[in-house]
Amino acid sequence: MTSTLYPLSHRFLLGRARHRLDDEDQRTIEEMITDVERFTSAHSVLERGDVVSRSTLLIEGFIARVIKQDGRRHILALHVPGDFVDLHAFALKRLDHSIVSIGPVLVGYTPHTKLEEILETRPRLARMLWFSTLLDAAMHREWILKLEHLSADGRLAHLIAEIWQRLDFVGMADPSGFSFPLTQQELADSCGTTAIHMNRVVRKLRESGIADISRGRVTIMDTDALIELGGFDPAYLYGKGDLMLD
């Protein structure tokens, strides 16, 4: 029923704090989206330094935050359906990174004028939008920590475990895995290594019976081993657990 009433925004904060949104809040978020756009292949949704007058909700597919430096591309975050990928652009107006789609995506746009109205008239909803940007910050901190402390195979295991959990929040994962269109180069860009090394890491996880990444899908073969290798504790995602927003 929720997906029928709110076809564009029903995954926003799902699994985290959507239970804190009443019917009017949910209707307001749906109506904030004034335009939708579909990209059938990789596309730069927003370039670093562009002046921004709207924010983007990811409805279908995957989006990455990207910085290019010294001839290399670095993926600093991955977004799944239900994420506002650049809500912070409301305050910053110019981002220090680019927003790039990975494979086919459907996005919805919210003009910043509508966000200004919410700040003035709906403080509780404004706080929940702020909460969604703070979730991004929590994930950034965890990525930095894991990048420093884990080997490449551990980083990949953590990435897989995180995306699996986030997709499970929004009803897009199952106990055996999830669809995942990233290439080995994009996995390497996300884990701070090279495509050649990532090829070896992917093979190691498969041969160890932990996870298989092939044909656009991640298949989880040993959940406990995956979590242990990636040092994954989902508390920072603010879903079920001691950090969940009651």
1: pLDDT confidence band, cut at 50, 70 and 90?
Answer: low
Mean of the pLDDT values across residues 57-77?
95
- 198 neighbors 155 (Cβ within 8 angstroms): no
- 149 neighbors 155 (Cβ within 8 angstroms): no
User: What domains can you pick out in the chain, each with its CATH number?
Assistant: 2-145 (2.60.120.10), 151-237 (1.10.10.10)
Residue with the bigger pLDDT between 221 and 215: it is 221
| 123: amino acid identity, one letter | P
For residue 74, the Cα-to-chain-centroid distance in whole angstroms is: 15
DSSP for 47-113, please give it. Answer: -TT---SEEEEEEEEEEEEEEEETTEEEEEEEE-TT-BTTTTHHHHSS-SSEEEEEEEEEEEEEEHH
For residue 12, the Cα-to-chain-centroid distance in whole angstroms is: 11
Percent of the chain with pLDDT over 90: 91
Q: Report pLDDT for 245.
A: 79
Q: Is the pLDDT of residue 241 over 90?
A: no
Q: Is the pLDDT of residue 59 over 70?
A: yes
127: pLDDT confidence band, cut at 50, 70 and 90?
Answer: very high
Q: Is the pLDDT of residue 144 over 60?
A: yes
As a whole number of angstroms, the distance between CA 30 and CA 244 comes to: 24
Q: At residue 225, what are phi and psi to the nearest 5 degrees?
A: -65, -40
- pLDDT tens, position by position, 71-106: 889 999 999 999 999 999 999 999 999 999 999 999
As a whole number of angstroms, the distance between CA 166 and CA 234 comes to: 9
Q: Report pLDDT for 42.
A: 87
Q: Is the pLDDT of residue 68 over 90?
A: yes
Percent of the chain with pLDDT over 70: 99
